[in-house]
Amino acid sequence: MIESKDNKDMIINAVKENGLSLAYAPKSLQDNKEIVMEAIKQNSWSLQFASKRLRDDDDIILESIRIDYNDRDIIFNSIYKGGWFLQYASSKIKNNKSIMLEAITLNYDFLQYASEHLKNDRDIIMTAVIQNGDML
């Protein structure tokens, strides 16, 4: 299905208002990086509606992490969420050391979403321990 520019513009406007409206976008637009990025900027929970390809995109995941941690209140709330958005990330992202280091620096709970390989990585472990010494 070919999407018209008008339809794309309509979806961009919708996700700017409510990022979760990405759930109702055509599959082809859930695979549009510009649209997904706008949705995530409005509501990082919208990541779950992005295409598998974009959930595997470093920029998209990093934006989700940054958006979720831009606001002091969100930081405290996100501690209790335990890194929910990494649930939807691909194994490639969960095995990406730089992404996981950035995430774990913000919240040691994100360690639970790291790949098994990274859970045994010295830098990853040390970052988590620095965030929470009780992990030892």
- Return the DSSP state at 25: S
More confident residue, 91 or 74: 91
Please, what is the end-to-end C-alpha distance for the chain in angstroms? 53
Q: Max CA-CA distance within the chain?
A: 55
Write the pLDDT tens digit of every residue in 34-81: 999 999 888 888 989 999 999 888 888 877 776 655 444 444 344 345
**Does residue 129 surpass a pLDDT of 50?**
yes
Q: Give the model's pLDDT for residue 104.
A: 86
107 by DSSP, 3-state: which? coil
Q: Give the model's pLDDT for residue 2.
A: 46
The answer to whether the CB of 85 falls within 8 A of the CB of 100 is no
Is the whole model's pTM more than 0.85, yes or no?
no
- Domain ranges in the chain? 1-50, 56-136
